[in-house]
Structure 1
Amino acid sequence: MMKIRRRFQKWMLQEDLNFLLTNRIPRIALTHFMGWWSKISHPWVVKSSMAVWRLFSDLDLSDAKQKEFDSLHACFTRELLPGAREVNPDPSFMTSPCDAIVGACGQISQGQVFQAKGFPYQLQTLLGSSEYCRHWPSVLEGGSYLTLRLTSSMYHRFHAPHDVQLQHVTYISGDTWNVNPVTLKRVEQLFCKNERAVLHMQTNDGVPFLIVPVAAVLVASMRFHAVDVLLNLRYKGPNEMSCDAAYAKGQEMGWFEHGSTILVFVPPGFERADGIATGQHVRMGQALLKRS
Structure 2
Amino acid sequence: MNNHRSRLSAAAFFVLLGTFCVPPSTFDVSARVHAQAPAVQAAAPATAGSARLWDGRNEAYETFIRAADIDRFEDVPIGVTHPRRAYFKPDGLVASVAWKNIPPGRPNGFWESYKSEIAAYELDKLLDLRMVPVAVEKKWKGETAAAILWLKPIHPWKEMEPKPKPETWARQVVRMKMFDNLIGNPDRNAGNLMVDDAWNLFLIDHSRAFVGTNALPFKMEHVDRPFWDRMLALDEPALAGALGKWLDKSTIRAILSRRDKMKSTIDALVKKNGEAAVFIQ
> Could you say whether these structures have the same fold, taking a TM-score greater than 0.5 normalized by the shorter chain as the test?
no
Which structure has the highest helix share of the two? Answer: 2
The alignment's TM-score, normalised by the length of structure 2, stands at 0.25
Which structure has the highest strand share of the two? Answer: 1
The alignment's TM-score, normalised by the length of structure 1, stands at 0.24
